[in-house]
Amino acid sequence: MIPGTYLPTEYLPILIMLLFATGFGVVTLWVGRFFRLRRPYAEKLIAYESGNPPSAPPRFRFSIKFYLIAILFVVFDVEAIFLYPWALVYDKIGIFAVVEMFLFIFLLLVGYAYAWRKEALEWER
């Protein structure tokens, strides 16, 4: 390869996928304009919340506990997601992959022990 002439062609499918996904959303919404009925009246135009008229502004302070739970969920969810590709190829990589993954799980286990001991998993403290 001549230096400086590299074109990342193997990423072309991703670009096509991106264009297609964007196009699908935009085109369907746009085409829908020509077919759907449009008869607005006052009740139809108010903000919609589970079938009830909204009773309060939606922006109020949530308890910090929700964020804590969400962060813990993300951490352990990512762990689970990493396990899938590993499970597909670990027999090809061999002992290295097993050690590596158990190291990774051990790191998270320390975090789990920490979260548990610090009572981050308790809702009422």
Amino acid at 44: K
Q: Per-residue x/- marks for other proteins, 24-63, CB under 8 A?
A: ----------------------------------------
| Closer of 35 and 96 to other proteins (Cβ) | 96
Q: Does 113 bind other proteins (CB under 8 A)?
A: yes
Q: Does 111 bind other proteins (CB under 8 A)?
A: yes
- Beta-bridged to residue 49, according to DSSP, are 52
Phi then psi for 60, rounded to 5 degrees?
Answer: -130, 175
Q: Does 8 bind other proteins (CB under 8 A)?
A: yes
Q: For Cα atoms 7, 9, 15, give the angle at the middle one, nearest 5 degrees.
A: 115
Query: Interface with other proteins by CB under 8 A: which range of 38-46, 49-57, 76-84, 110-118?
Result: 110-118
Helix, strand, or coil (residue 4): coil
Q: Does 125 bind other proteins (CB under 8 A)?
A: no
E strand residue ranges, 65-123: none
Sign of the alpha-carbon torsion through 76, 80, 82, 86: positive
Binding site for other proteins (CB under 8 A): 2-6, 8, 92-94, 96, 107, 110-111, 113-114, 117-118
